[in-house]
Amino acid sequence: ERLARAKALLTEGGRLAPADDSWLVQKAVVKLRLAQADAPRAFGVDGARVAQHEEDRARASLLRGVLRSLTRVQRENSLKTYKEAEAEVASCVGALASRLARLDPEGVFFPGGTASRTDAAVSAFAGDEPRRAGELVELACVEYARAATLARRRAEAFEKTIGAAGRTSPRDGTATNAARAAAKASLQFALHCEATLSSLSSSSSALGNEASLSLGLGASSSSFPPPSARGGGSDATAENAFHPEGLEPTLTRHALLALAGGAGARARHLIPRVLALLRGDGDRERASAAAAAEFARLAPRVPSWLFLEWIPQLYSLLDAPGLGGDAAAATVSTLARSYPSAAYAEHRVARGEFSKLGAARSARHLDATLASPAGEAFARAVTLLDFPAQRLAWWRAHVKLLVAGAVEKASAAGGAANDDETRAAAEA
């Protein structure tokens, strides 16, 4: 009802509202449709849940209608002068295509169904809307990338304007909002990359198989970015958001950009995923090295305290060969300088288990920074902490058992090893 009233106001007086005002209403419609797609199934007249197939058909129909409307807006370039809205449209198209790919992987809910469709008639970006999951996944990937690039360019333009005005110029709210929008767009793209990686690694996921066939992600790094976003493709803007070495460095790049821009808790949840990508082995070694290079380049922009809860994972990477361990060492070194108390306990536990590689990195980056006589004394006191009265009572009871011959009986029952240990303890 509120959306209907808002639409009526846009055409009040016989004049069309500005395109950016119309987009605000359309964006609300997109959010509503996405929420409906995730809602539990409705109840029928008999009180039972509506059949899954029928519910998915209805939801797919709603999503396709909104997707068709937004792609028309993109083709007409009606929001070209409104850079913020243009980036938001691309992000919404990505969200709709991704959600629709899960609801309708085979295009059976597309008007006409699969029976009336030939492969030659299917075109994802030229005149017809995408139908199959592979086409929708590619569309989602490209549009999320477009949104990230457009939002990043807008934020950088504001930064240049502020820089040209001089360092004393205050950072206005518009520039702050642009930076947050860029971080949000990078977060959405990073989450999509993470979901794609997860689906590709799961052999039981039908969507993952379709995505692999469509994008060629798992075959070689030369097949990424998607064809429509490569040089000479239909969308050069999206190409700037991709890393040429594959999904891993692309995910690392945009997760760290989101963290640097203050994208919030959802971005922080990607940190362990990013750290796992730095430990490359097998066929993903090249992609892992590229991810490590992105991490080394962008991690200094991220507030170091965001990595505090992942100190154990960072320390485990110090033993990892290659660029991943070097990138992690730089971050751990920053944490050690800024928060020595938080890093000291993990450092003391881990340094005794390091290989030669990890020990060398630790000596180079951490040992001098975390040297603490007070910390060593405290750790020693904790290891010596005991209850002398209870310890004495335990040993007295044990000596009585030895005298009574309990050890010999246990040895006869097969406890010779335990006997040796007990006798050695008694002699000590």
For the stretch 400-417, pLDDT in tens is 888 887 667 766 665 555
Which residues lie below 8 Å from residue 400, measured CB to CB, with a gap of 6+?
A: none
My answer on whether 259 and 395 are in the same domain is no
pLDDT of residue 293: 94
Helix, coil or strand: residue 62: helix
Closest C-alpha to 290, from 334, 237, 242, 240: 242
On whether residue 340 sits in a domain, the answer given is: no
pLDDT classification of 10: cutoffs 50, 70, 90: low
The C-alpha atoms of residue 144 and residue 196 are separated, in whole angstroms, by 13
DSSP 230: S
pLDDT classification of 118: cutoffs 50, 70, 90: very low
pLDDT classification of 311: cutoffs 50, 70, 90: very high
pLDDT at 207 over 60: no
pLDDT of residue 216: 40
Q: Which amino acid is at 375?
A: G
pLDDT of residue 204: 40
Which residues lie below 8 Å from residue 313, measured CB to CB, with a gap of 6+?
A: 272, 275
Give the count of domains, the chain.
2
On whether residue 333 sits in a domain, the answer given is: no
On whether residue 364 sits in a domain, the answer given is: no
- Residue pair 129/71 in contact (Cβ under 8 Å)? The answer is yes
Closest C-alpha to 85, from 30, 29, 21, 144: 21
DSSP 301: G
Strands (DSSP E) contained in 279-353 are: none
Q: Which amino acid is at 180?
A: R
Mean model confidence pLDDT for the chain: 78
My answer on whether 171 and 31 are in the same domain is yes
Residue that finishes a domain, picked among 211, 239, 269: 269
My answer on whether 396 and 262 are in the same domain is no
Which residues lie below 8 Å from residue 339, measured CB to CB, with a gap of 6+?
A: 304, 305, 308
pLDDT at 424 over 60: no
Domain that residue 413 falls in: 387-427
Q: What share of the chain is helix, strand, coil (3-state, %, to 5)?
A: 70, 0, 30
Phi/psi-derived region of residue 322, left when phi > 0, alpha when psi is between -120 and 50, beta in every other case = left
Helix, coil or strand: residue 43: strand
The C-alpha atoms of residue 336 and residue 342 are separated, in whole angstroms, by 8
Helix, coil or strand: residue 109: coil
Mean pLDDT calculated for residue range 54-79: 85
- Residue pair 137/214 in contact (Cβ under 8 Å)? The answer is yes
Share of the chain above pLDDT 70, in %: 73
The C-alpha atoms of residue 177 and residue 180 are separated, in whole angstroms, by 5
- Which of 4-8, 224-228, 285-289 tops mean pLDDT? 285-289
pLDDT of residue 228: 72
Q: What is the number of helices (H) and of strands (E) in the chain? A: 20, 0
- Which of 27-31, 250-254, 348-352, 367-371 tops mean pLDDT? 250-254
Neighbours of 427 (CB within 10 A): 6
Q: Which amino acid is at 150?
A: L
pLDDT of residue 225: 75
- Could you write out the three-class secondary structure of 165-181? HCCCCCCCHHHHHHHHH
On whether residue 153 sits in a domain, the answer given is: yes
pLDDT at 227 over 50: yes
My answer on whether 247 and 393 are in the same domain is no
Residue that finishes a domain, picked among 269, 286, 307: 269
On whether residue 283 sits in a domain, the answer given is: no
pLDDT at 398 over 60: yes
Share of the chain above pLDDT 90, in %: 24
- Phi then psi for residue 49, to 5 deg, are -65, 145
Rg (CA), the chain: 30
On whether residue 360 sits in a domain, the answer given is: no
pLDDT at 123 over 90: no
Token match 């990937």: residue?
141
pLDDT at 185 over 90: yes
Q: Two tokens at 280? A: 């490359």
**8-17, 81-90, 177-186: range with lowest mean pLDDT:** 8-17
Closest C-alpha to 95, from 87, 81, 273: 87
Residue that finishes a domain, picked among 252, 269, 286: 269
Q: What is the pTM of this model?
A: 0.76
Segments in 261-322 forming alpha helices (H): 265-268, 271-277, 285-298, 311-317
The C-alpha atoms of residue 271 and residue 268 are separated, in whole angstroms, by 6
My answer on whether 264 and 391 are in the same domain is no
- Residue pair 330/295 in contact (Cβ under 8 Å)? The answer is no
pLDDT classification of 210: cutoffs 50, 70, 90: very low
pLDDT at 312 over 60: yes
pLDDT of residue 282: 61
Mean pLDDT calculated for residue range 82-103: 89
On whether residue 37 sits in a domain, the answer given is: yes
- What does the angle CA 117 – CA 118 – CA 124 come to, to the nearest 5 degrees? 80
Torsion sign, CA atoms 332, 335, 337, 339: negative
**10-14, 141-145, 300-304, 383-387: range with lowest mean pLDDT:** 10-14
Neighbours of 394 (CB within 10 A): 11
On whether residue 7 sits in a domain, the answer given is: yes
Token match 């469709």: residue?
117
Phi/psi-derived region of residue 17, left when phi > 0, alpha when psi is between -120 and 50, beta in every other case = beta
**Pseudo-torsion of CA 130, 136, 138, 140, nearest 10°?**
120
Mean pLDDT calculated for residue range 9-33: 72
